Chains A and B, each alone.
Chain A
């Protein structure tokens, strides 16, 4: 072919046309069909067209290469100018106007052509004027089309302003657009001819249709600035094809705005492959995608179900296999639905495919959901929302992609969960310390043994026992009447007594108890003693103790002893239960190894004495043989307390023999003194005492426990023994009480109440003690296991 020299305007124009014809985006060869249409639009006689084609060498080559195409265009211009078609005329004809391709408005075209030809610079200015739809400013025409595209994006079919085909042509493009519009509907199918009109058309077309479809497509192009086109002949802005597509797409869009139009848009898109980064989505493209997304799913944060997406993308007329592949690429989270980002990625891939780009094997980074979020967050108002939300309908796009946002969101959750785990461990550890509370509980709380629910078993019981003893002794002094006297007045003070019992110093308690001679006495007696003692021991902190509503079963009085005391007292002597209450926890048999032996020795004796009084069957008050002494109490609370006082029951068997002791009182006293020495149990005693549990001393138990228990158990045993001792003492004292008190029914009832409370307290103590026992046993087992494990090694 001869060398072809083109002016800038011609160059630009030709390149645009070439792009338009380059449907396949090959950038090398234009589709013959397109070219033919173009030539037809040139309104040249067919023979001329054929001649042109022959001249440019297309017929020889069989295809329209760029050079051939350009030559052909030139020849068209020549022909249109009326010059004879000669190969030589390509270059000889000077000032050849740009070839005109008529689609509908020749005038406009000519005008445009004129403008083009006359205004090469304007073209440049056009591009400058025309708000470059993002980067796509290919040629002026391209930019122009962009303008038109924009109106389209705005979904406003008629925005003549944008088409601005050329600022120079103030002649309103609008009229053109209108005409175009009118034409479009009619020319719904005449895409080709319109397209043939060339780039000029595209702007108009777009303006007319205003459908957003093409916009994104065009905008999607990020071709080099138009100037580049002018500069390089070889460079063919691929996007130019977009322009040509406009008309077609425009028409379609005008006619069909719905999803169906998307197909045209897709076609438009076909050419809108990004120039710089084939996979980068430009803003316009993105906007278009978003709009399309809205047509399917109004909620931008929502999903497009697979079926809807399938229908939508099927319209693109891509083979199912390719669509399937596109889906695989774009459905990032494999959930069968498309979020906005996924949808945009898929759409973009479809467009690219349509433009001839091969589908990648992996999703390009620019199409990754997260990147799209980040990039376009500013573009689409909805996107920030997308980026922001952590959990949209089912999944947030950020979460969908393995992006940082999602990670950031999940991390806090993980941290929280880990924190929770930590707390769990803490809790578990803390629970282990619960058992230790018992021993730690300070006796200090007179008011209500209740204050320390679990813990204060042992000590209170002791204290209670002591107090009970004290009271008993006190009651003994005043005997028959005193209890009565005291009781009525002290009914309300029973609680005080209980508390006082708790706190009563060992001595006072001892005195009180010692005063009570008959350990076999009913709990009533003890209760009376307690009441008396209360009066006596007004100074004791117990007085401060409020009349704790007996109901408080002194949770702390898990010490069986205390409970037992109450129970036994209640059972044995309905009368003097108040006194019994004072004694409660005589004995949470907290094993106190050092002290256990001594006190236990005594206690068992005491317990026996008590037991005899109560004559409670070991079964009923298993832990507290002392309780057995108080048959009366048994009746009351035996059933309640028995179960709970297993621990003490163990001790009580030991106490049983004690029952036989003739001088349970004395033994109790001794036990009490012993218990006194054991501060720890004493501490718990008050709590128990407040319950009003009879100081049932599980005498035998402690002894037995010590024998069998491990070291760990010893403290418990000791405590229990103490408790039992105390209880026994109390019990011993109680039996003597009822006699004197029998008269006062009210007192009895009150004492009964208190005893019941004491029973509950003791029951609790019992349960707790049992728990401790279990724990200790477990420890023992573990130690034994370790020992065995170590043994074999020792031999090695």
Chain B
């Protein structure tokens, strides 16, 4: 259901970004990039005291006429950004949450791999498969 999935590192560079090939990927890349501002804004709005209680799921970052962008931040400031098609009205918030959860779990598995250096691009096949399963519904 996701049209584009991106994993952004703490320093705001992408660790993984993948879109459905049908669209102009550059557009998605740009959208993800601009969403980072919104993510930062949401994080800072929480306040420092609430860091522990801060919910990981940020929710809808901003909607466009065609797409909706959802955000999710981990405690290590790794951001997941997901772009979904607005026409997909059946997508509920819970589903988005579950998708982020799966992303987070897969990301954790990638991190557990000793051969993965944090900061590298994510090239895990398992991660790819998981993202594909999330995106495949759209295609």
Contacts and interface: CB of A to CB of B under 8 A. Distances in A.
A320 interface: yes
Contacts of A303: none
Contact of B123 (A307, A324, A335): A324
A687 B125 CA distance: 77
Interface in A302-338: 305-307, 309-310, 313, 320-321, 323-325, 327-328, 331, 334-336
Interface string A162-205: 00000000000000000000000000000000000000000000
Interface of A: 305-307, 309-310, 313, 320-321, 323-325, 327-328, 331, 334-336, 361
A233 to B, nearest CB: 39
Nearest to A328: B126
Which of A306, A309, A313 lies at the interface centre, i.e. has the most chain B CB atoms within 10 A of its CB? A306
Given A328-B125, A328-B126, A310 B115 contact: yes
A319 to B, nearest CB: 10
Contact of B114 (A306, A325, A334, A361): A306
B113 A328 contact: yes
Contact of A323 (B108, B115, B126): B115
Contact of A331 (B108, B112, B129): B112
B13 interface: no
A729 B23 CA distance: 96
A321 B127 CA distance: 13
Given A310-B114, A323-B115, A325-B125, 9 more contacts: A305-B114, A310-B115, A321-B123, A324-B124, A325-B124, A328-B124, A328-B126, A336-B112, A336-B114
B109 interface: yes
B62 interface: no
Nearest 6 pairs of A and B residues by beta carbon: A306-B114, A324-B115, A310-B114, A336-B112, A323-B115, A327-B113
Contacts of B109: 328, 334
Nearest to A320: B115
Given A328-B109, A334-B109, A309 B124 contact: no
Nearest to A314: B115
A324 B116 contact: yes
Contacts of B114: 305-307, 309-310, 327, 336
Contacts of B124: 324-325, 328
A328 B124 CA distance: 8
A713 B115 CA distance: 73
Contacts of A306: 112-114
Contacts of A313: 115
A310 B125 CA distance: 18
A459 B108 CA distance: 68
A26 B114 CA distance: 31
Contact of A335 (B112, B115, B116, B129): B112
A166 B125 CA distance: 48
Contact of B112 (A321, A325, A334): A334
Nearest to B126: A328
A127 B125 CA distance: 43
Interface string B109-139: 1001111100000011110010000000000
B113 A331 contact: yes
B115 to A, nearest CB: 4
Contacts of B115: 310, 313, 320, 323-324, 327
Contacts of A335: 112
Contacts of B129: 361
A361 B125 contact: yes
A219 B66 CA distance: 61
Nearest to B116: A324
Contacts of B108: 334
A345 to B, nearest CB: 15
Interface string B33-68: 000000000000000000000000000000000000
A331 B114 CA distance: 10
Interface residues of B, number: 12
A492 to B, nearest CB: 67
Contacts of B112: 306, 331, 334-336
Which of A305, A307, A325, A328 lies at the interface centre, i.e. has the most chain B CB atoms within 10 A of its CB? A328
Nearest to B105: A334
A44 B24 CA distance: 64
B114 to A, nearest CB: 3
A309 B112 CA distance: 12
Contacts of A361: 125, 129
19 contacts: A305-B114, A306-B112, A306-B113, A309-B114, A313-B115, A324-B116, A324-B123, A324-B124, A325-B124, A327-B113, A327-B115, A328-B113, A331-B113, A334-B109, A334-B112, A336-B112, A336-B114, A361-B125, A361-B129
A90 to B, nearest CB: 49
Contacts of A320: 115
A114 to B, nearest CB: 50
Nearest to B129: A361
A313 B115 CA distance: 10
A296 B106 CA distance: 28
Contacts of A328: 109, 113, 124-126
Contacts of A307: 114
Nearest to B110: A328
A325 B124 CA distance: 7
Interface string B83-126: 00000000000000000000000001100111110000001111
Contacts of B116: 324
Contacts of B126: 328
A522 B129 CA distance: 90
A306 B124 CA distance: 16
Contacts of A336: 112-114
A363 to B, nearest CB: 11
Which of A307, A309, A325 lies at the interface centre, i.e. has the most chain B CB atoms within 10 A of its CB? A325
A325 B109 CA distance: 12
B7 to A, nearest CB: 16
Contacts of A309: 114
Which of A324, A325, A361 lies at the interface centre, i.e. has the most chain B CB atoms within 10 A of its CB? A324
Nearest to B111: A336
Contacts of A331: 112-113
Contacts of A310: 114-115
A420 to B, nearest CB: 30
A113 B108 CA distance: 58
A328 to B, nearest CB: 5
A323 B124 CA distance: 11
A267 B108 CA distance: 32
A305 B109 CA distance: 15
Nearest to A311: B114
A353 to B, nearest CB: 13
Nearest to B113: A327
A307 B124 CA distance: 18
A320 B126 CA distance: 15
Nearest to B124: A328
B104 to A, nearest CB: 13
A670 B115 CA distance: 93
A324 B112 CA distance: 10
Nearest to B123: A321
A306 B16 CA distance: 23
Contacts of B123: 321, 324
A296 to B, nearest CB: 13
A593 B112 CA distance: 72
Contacts of A334: 108-109, 112
A331 B109 CA distance: 10
A651 B116 CA distance: 78
A718 B97 CA distance: 60
A205 B129 CA distance: 45
Contacts of B113: 306, 324, 327-328, 331, 336
A460 to B, nearest CB: 56
Contacts of A305: 114
Nearest to B125: A325
Nearest to A313: B115
Contacts of A323: 115
B133 to A, nearest CB: 13
Which of A306, A307, A310, A334 lies at the interface centre, i.e. has the most chain B CB atoms within 10 A of its CB? A334
